Amino acid sequence: MFTLVLHSHLPWLANHGRWPVGEEWLYQSWAASYQPVFAALRRLAADGFTNQLSLGITPVLAAQLDDPHCLTSMYEWLADWQLRGAEAAISREDTGSTARPTSSINELGTREYRAAAAALSDFEKHWRHGGSALIRSMVDSGTIELLGGPLAHPFAPLLDPRLRDFSLREGLYDAEARFSTRPQGIWAPECAYAPGMESDYEAAGVRHFMVDGPALHGDTSLGRTVGTSDVVAFGRDLQVSYRVWSPKSGYPGHSAYRDFHTYDHQFGLKPARVTGRTVSGADKKPYEPARAQAALQGHVDDFITSVRDRLISESERIGRPAHVVAAFDTELFGHWWHEGPQWLEAVLRALPEAGITVGTLQTARDEGYVGNPVELSESSWGSGKDWRVWNGPVVDDLVQINAEVVSAALATVQKRRDQQPVRDHVSDQILRETLMTLSSDWPFMVSKETAADYARNRLYTHAHATREICDAADRGRESVAAQLAAQWNRADNLFPGLDARRLTFLDAVDRP
């Protein structure tokens, strides 16, 4: 059996800047990845395809896909894209005394205008009132298995066990409220694991989760129950996954595909193909859709062959039918790799024709693709397959701030719980801001030097909010604490279902 797993996630971006980092990131990903990927899933569903992939939707992304501000701004962004395409389509080259058509930019503008028009129509029909109904329809049709995750995407192994348990349970509650289904599987943020976390999963009702291949020492041909639990860890097969994308290579780097990094700065469009790894942006060749389509078919065929060969060799090695899991960020398909959604749909249609059984992680578990129990060590899918990206020397200061924020937040919330064991919106907001501080995105961006200043500013902002509310509450300034909590809540307007009363303090020392 072959399983495709996609992890859909962006940090909370609404009202936290627009360009070069901020809401633009959300709208680009929405238009380039989420819209075409779900359009492909709808076509597959209409043609009777079921159990096509396990799709992770993080609570923080789901919140943005439902947020009224984001929905309105996304609609405006699509209209702006169409306008930019129209301007490029009728652009004229100024030669001093005359103006003449500029064929390459005119062709690009025409393509972009049509693409934006199609995206606007799709958005109006399927997304205009939020993403939850669309995602739920894919779950209800049996096309996908929904994977959940903890609120705000924290790096769970570094969390206080009480907060780790709370964020996971709240994330599962959030998914159930949005999609009317409680996920049985999760994609843990960054595929991060620490010994004992399977106990948290089992207690929360999670039956399976993802790890990276090296966590299972490369033996990913079957899922494995972890320790003495009944929770199954499925490992990403790097040999197959790296055919698509790896730190050094993969299909999206082919010379014929559209280049992600090169912009026409007059209209904000992407006019070039990759051309070559060492070719500068100014020297890249114009994008040619027909050339890209020819490359695409070759990469579909190559992937099908790779999956089939891997299944055969692994089945022979273990003496029973094997399971291969390929896993990626959803945003690779479309946002980073323009042709990715087309490739994705073509692969899912071609796999059964090649005699390959396709199923979800849930399908694999139910049909017995599970081997002997295993003890897992610390791991992630980050650099070095360890935790260095999130607690290495580059982010020591962020780790220290996180520890201080968590300590203050838990102390304040526990004190308030002892005083008034009723719904407390101040405690709710303290935990919201704490979890936003702990997002794994901020240390990742700093470690990878991608918009590091933005990431630090975001962490500092949420840490300040947490401390400010805690300080007022601890000083007994109840009206000030309530006012601050309401103002910070209004600033982001997310996770209304979070309830601090579900934070468990008993036996915290004894938890894994």
Q: Is 190 labeled as catalytic in the residue annotation?
A: yes
CATH T-level fold of 392-510: immunoglobulin/albumin-binding domain-like (1.20.1430)
The residue type at 9:
H
With a cut of 50, say whether residue 508 has pLDDT above it.
no
Cα–Cα dist 163/107, whole Å: 53
Going by C-beta distance under 8 Å and a sequence separation of 6 or more, which residues neighbour residue 79?
Answer: 116, 120
pLDDT digits (tens, 9 = 90+) for 110-160: 999 999 999 999 999 999 999 999 999 999 999 999 999 999 999 999 999
Residues of the chain with CATH 1.20.1430.10: 392-510
The superfamily in CATH containing domain 2-149+187-252+321-383 is Glycoside hydrolase 38, N terminal domain (3.20.110.10)
Extract the tokens encoding 308: 């089939």
What are the φ/ψ torsions at residue 33 (nearest 5 degrees)? -115, -60
pLDDT band at 511 (very low <50, low <70, confident <90, very high): very low
With a cut of 90, say whether residue 246 has pLDDT above it.
no
With a cut of 60, say whether residue 512 has pLDDT above it.
no
pLDDT of 98 reads 53
Extract the tokens encoding 183: 């996920």
Using a pLDDT cut of 70, give the percent of the chain over it.
97
- At residue 229's C-alpha, the angle toward residues 227 and 234, to 5°, is 75
Q: Tell me the mean pLDDT in the region 424-447.
A: 98
pLDDT of 477 reads 97
Q: Which of 444, 410, 428 is CA-nearest to residue 484? A: 428
Q: Tell me the mean pLDDT in the region 366-379.
A: 97
Using a pLDDT cut of 90, give the percent of the chain over it.
92
By the 10 Å C-beta count (0-12 exposed, 13-18 middle, 19+ buried), 206 is classed as: buried
What are the φ/ψ torsions at residue 446 (nearest 5 degrees)? -70, -45
Alpha-helical runs (H) found in 127-191: 132-140, 161-179
Q: Tell me the mean pLDDT in the region 11-16.
A: 97
Report the run of H or E that residue 423 belongs to, with start and end: none
Residues of the chain with CATH 3.20.110.10: 2-149+187-252+321-383
Asked if residue 255 lies in contact with residue 273, where contact means CB atoms within 8 angstroms, the answer is yes
What are the φ/ψ torsions at residue 270 (nearest 5 degrees)? -110, 105
With a cut of 60, say whether residue 96 has pLDDT above it.
no
Extract the tokens encoding 146: 């929904």
Beta bridge partners of 193: 379
Q: How far is CA 54 from CA 47, 318, 327, in A?
A: 18, 24, 9
pLDDT of 509 reads 41
pLDDT of 506 reads 53
Cα–Cα dist 160/168, whole Å: 12
3-state secondary structure of 144: strand
- Looking up tokens 């490992």, which residue turns up? 235
The residue type at 296:
L
Cα–Cα dist 328/445, whole Å: 18
Q: Which of 383, 387, 377 is CA-nearest to residue 194? A: 377
Extract the tokens encoding 161: 């066990």
Residue 348: count other Cβ atoms within 10 Å of its Cβ: 20
- Looking up tokens 């109006």, which residue turns up? 124
pLDDT of 3 reads 98
pLDDT band at 375 (very low <50, low <70, confident <90, very high): very high
How far is residue 255 CA from its own chain's centroid? Answer: 27
Kindly name the residue from 176, 329, 386, 499 that is annotated as catalytic.
329
pLDDT of 155 reads 97
Buried b (16+ CB within 10 A) or exposed e, 151-180: bbbbbbbbbbbbbbbbbbbbbbbbbeebbe
Q: Which of 228, 230, 197 is CA-nearest to residue 211? A: 197
Query: How long is the chain?
Result: 512
pLDDT digits (tens, 9 = 90+) for 17-61: 998 899 999 999 999 999 999 999 999 999 999 999 999 999 999
Cα–Cα dist 27/32, whole Å: 8
Report the run of H or E that residue 470 belongs to, with start and end: helix 452-474
3-state secondary structure 76-141: HHHHHHHHHHHHHHCCEEECCCCEEECHHHHHHHHHHHHHHHHHHHHHHHHCCCCCHHHHHHHHHC
With a cut of 90, say whether residue 422 has pLDDT above it.
no
Asked if residue 148 lies in contact with residue 56, where contact means CB atoms within 8 angstroms, the answer is yes
Kindly name the residue from 145, 165, 190, 198 that is annotated as catalytic.
190
Q: How far is CA 6 from CA 53, 54, 206, 220, 361, in A?
A: 8, 6, 18, 17, 11
pLDDT digits (tens, 9 = 90+) for 249-298: 899 999 999 999 999 989 999 999 999 989 999 899 999 999 999 999 99
144-148/185-186 β-pairing: parallel
Mean pLDDT of the chain: 95
With a cut of 60, say whether residue 352 has pLDDT above it.
yes
Cα–Cα dist 429/496, whole Å: 10
Asked if residue 18 lies in contact with residue 111, where contact means CB atoms within 8 angstroms, the answer is no
pTM over 0.85: yes
Peptide bond into 20 cis (omega under 30): yes
